[in-house]
A and B are shown apart, each in its own frame.
Chain A
Amino acid sequence: MSYLKDRGIFLYDESLCRNLDFHEIKRYLDGKINADIEIRKGFISYYLRQEKIDCFARKIAGIRVRDLRRNTFFEPLYGEIKYEERMLKKPKNCSVMYDGFKLQALLRELITHEEYKHVHIVFTNRLFGTFDENDMRYHARVIICGHPSLISTSGIVEAPAKPKRFYYLKQKSAILGIPIDIAKKKFKGRFVDYDDERITEIMKGYVMQALMYSITGKPFCNNRNCRLFNAHWQEEVLNAQLNGHEFCEKHKGIIEKIKEMREYT
């Protein structure tokens, strides 16, 4: 364990999520591991120089997932590059999926030499996925731990599976051209939605996963009642993050130890 000695922790807000309270997350982390966290506006806007936008737009356009069943990439279209330029200059909610590991690598390239050693946790509204070679398809993800760690506020809505009945209703609605909001209303509260009021509380657990990765190399826990549980269903997300269990005994101990070490150092 590195206990994050001499390493700063930076949270970046690229979420465009109005209910996500970064100061509350900072307070939570301070309490848990005595973390001295700096909140920064956007990761890309922080590191990417204005004159480099064209070049970065081309790179990011090239890592789009065009087909969930293929992890092949090719030269992006002129219009796709222009689209990314617009998004970089004036970020908006977008509806494109990107390859998560490639996105992470692109962002990593932006980190300056002086700040490379620190922990960077980027909240983004972009949806990303990873290709699973077992079933040969992309799966949306909420978090990709690493350097930097990425947490997607679209991913928390789209990645963990919703109740099966919801998908049945959604399919029916799509055929009839009925807005998805109607199906959502019937399942209100049973999954995380866009601009969900519970998002801050839920994201506390995901930031802890990112931090645990940076400190111990192990972000997840097998205990369903631990905030570090790698949830694949919305029901599991809500249980792990909102039911007040906080952490399992094992991780409670590890977190306390990290806090003590940080106080000591």
Chain B
Amino acid sequence: MALFEYATESDVTRAIISGFAEDMKEYASTDVIVIGGGPSGLMCAKELAKKNVKVLIIERNNYLGGGFWIGGYLMNTITVRAPGQEVLDDLSIPYNKFAPNLYVTNGPHACSKLIASACESGAKILNMTKFDDVVFREKNRVSGAVVNWTPVSALPREITCVDPIALESKVVVDASGHDAVVVKKLEERGLIKTPGFGGMWVEKSEDLVVEHTGEAHPGLVVTGMAVSTTYGLPRMGPTFGGMLLSGKKGAEIIHELLKR
């Protein structure tokens, strides 16, 4: 006797298409689009979804989590400085105290828990999807994202002449890491000017990222390392507390913006 019940190939195909189409129809217009499914983007999406905000994460890779799977030098131990361990507690991620105020955890465990938590909170994910451009409204307010399949950009133009699609939202989050792809798009249009990497106060780099998390342009909130690129903050060491807390703070700020 067969273990699995009977389904035809065409049933499977229809199920994939209709499931995906339902999601796309539902999320063509949403409250928040998060560009980048790294630690700050996931954290931001999770916190918002928990408050019943409709959130869509756009991730260019097949996998979520960005650099959160591994720590420095490709070693999969993640370090978190206090008070970042409070987020680990919230997510029920086990960790050890390495030194006063410094905690270590297993990268794959922490990352998968964060992804699961974002999904369980209700955030929807579009992976293998690349941010292409910004949707603008009156007074250049950011009001959505233009996206396309990731493979489109990886193949020669003559083969993949595929037009992107536009998704609307009340707020867009640039959580795309050092690339800060949304901010860079605004810069291309002369709406923002990033100062490049500076040497402000290196010791405080993690604090600076959290402090500067916020609305960088009307309708655009910047979190995580994209904050660093936007404001020219110094590079950080391999600790992830700043990313998690930046995502959390971004969610708080967006929640306030949505109330307005």
Contact = CB atoms under 8 A, between A and B. Distances in A.
A67 B222 CA distance: 21
A179 interface: yes
Interface string A86-125: 1000001011110000000000000000000000000000
B193 A74 contact: yes
A79 B214 contact: yes
Interface in A141-183: 158, 170, 174-182
B167 interface: no
Nearest to A85: B214
A96 B100 contact: no
Task: Give the interface residue-count category, chain B.
Answer: 35 or more
Interface string B191-210: 01111001111111001100
Contacts of A64: 200
A79 B231 contact: yes
B105 interface: no
Contacts of A68: 198-200
Nearest to B215: A82
Interface residues of A, number: 33
Contact of A95 (B79, B211, B216): B211
Given A96-B200, A177-B72, A179-B102, A77 B211 contact: no
A177 B231 contact: no
Given A66-B195, A66-B200, A74-B193, A79 B215 contact: yes
A79 B216 contact: yes
B68 to A, nearest CB: 14
Contact of A69 (B102, B199, B207, B222): B199
B223 to A, nearest CB: 12
A119 to B, nearest CB: 30
B193 A179 contact: no
A199 interface: no
A180 to B, nearest CB: 6
Contacts of B211: 83, 92, 94-96
Interface of A: 64-69, 74-75, 77-80, 82-83, 86, 92, 94-97, 127, 158, 170, 174-182, 185
6 contacts: A66-B195, A78-B216, A80-B212, A174-B203, A179-B82, A182-B99
Interface of B: 71-72, 79, 81-82, 98-102, 192-195, 198-204, 207-208, 211-212, 214-218, 222, 230-232, 237-239
